[in-house]
A and B are shown apart, each in its own frame.
Chain A
């Protein structure tokens, strides 16, 4: 009985001591879970924006007609970041174009890699190492028919108790031949940060 009491006391002491120890722990988390670490543009916002925009694009009747028998060729122009914070907008467009491409309904040309492709073709033709009959030909690439472009803007307001951030993301699809905007949509995100009176 005495032994039990000793063990319990020891255990409790350990628990007490360990309870307040400040140790850092590394864990793997869910990459798609909602993240609310701070009010800045985060992974949840990026994923939400990308998912909503691709869903809206797929559901649009115009896009339904465009993709009925063909897979239109698109290119993504860089998104304009008009917010007050640094946001990697290429990451948003990457997510959107990857989703569109993986759906099997669209094809893409990558303007960011034009120079690299040109260098490779130059090497094949002028390097003297590639059999000319097997070199990939110049001037055979397919041009984009549609351009995706957009804006990301924000309104930030705060007082001593509360911060409110509003993001508006607009995306448009332009027919490059006619110059007509065939589809457009915007998505909004509101985030607030307030002081909690009781924290645990």
Chain B
């Protein structure tokens, strides 16, 4: 039992005038405050073994999703704890600074250790693929979700 999704923020269509105003606001705000980075990322929803992984992929940030690819989601029990392995591949030529984290759920779908699993930094060089591993914090965990998002270049907002 496992799950996964990719989230990316969809760009909204704005009228040209509004865009102009927004742009000017950003330009002006730029000198004092850095613009908040887009931090939405990749995640997953409940999924069972052998299930088609792509069905569970949720994209909240289309730009990021274009540059990433998740495959080979595997799960097993190690010392009674759910262990997850998945491959994160970069489709982008340049390096990407990313962070990922796992959410854990019990059989009833209740979140376990909410907000305690840390975001782990991972740097993917051009076209590189890496294996992300997650281990459930206790034996009650039966499903999971994983999120990937960018690390903001400037540490202003989380």
Contact = CB atoms under 8 A, between A and B. Distances in A.
Interface of A: 12, 15-16, 18-22, 27, 29-37, 44, 47-48, 51, 55, 58-59, 63-64, 67, 99, 102-105, 200
A197 B120 CA distance: 27
Interface residues of B, number: 35
B138 A34 contact: no
Most chain B C-beta atoms within 10 Å of own C-beta, residue among A32, A34, A200: A34
A67 B79 contact: yes
B151 A55 contact: no
Interface of B: 21, 24-25, 27-32, 34-35, 39, 78-79, 81, 83, 99, 101, 113, 115-121, 133, 135, 137-139, 151, 155, 157-158
Given A20-B28, A47-B118, A200-B30, A29 B157 contact: yes
Contacts, number: 86
Contacts of B39: 33
A55 B133 contact: yes
Contacts of A103: 81, 137-139
Contact of A19 (B32, B99, B117, B118): B32
B79 A19 contact: no
B138 A36 contact: no
Contacts of A200: 30, 34-35
Nearest to A16: B28
A99 B28 CA distance: 46
Contacts of A16: 28
Given A22-B32, A102-B137, A15 B101 contact: no
A94 to B, nearest CB: 13
A35 B120 CA distance: 10
B79 A34 contact: no
Most chain A C-beta atoms within 10 Å of own C-beta, residue among B24, B115, B116: B116
A37 B151 CA distance: 12
Nearest to A65: B79
B34 A34 contact: no
A161 B78 CA distance: 45
A162 B145 CA distance: 37
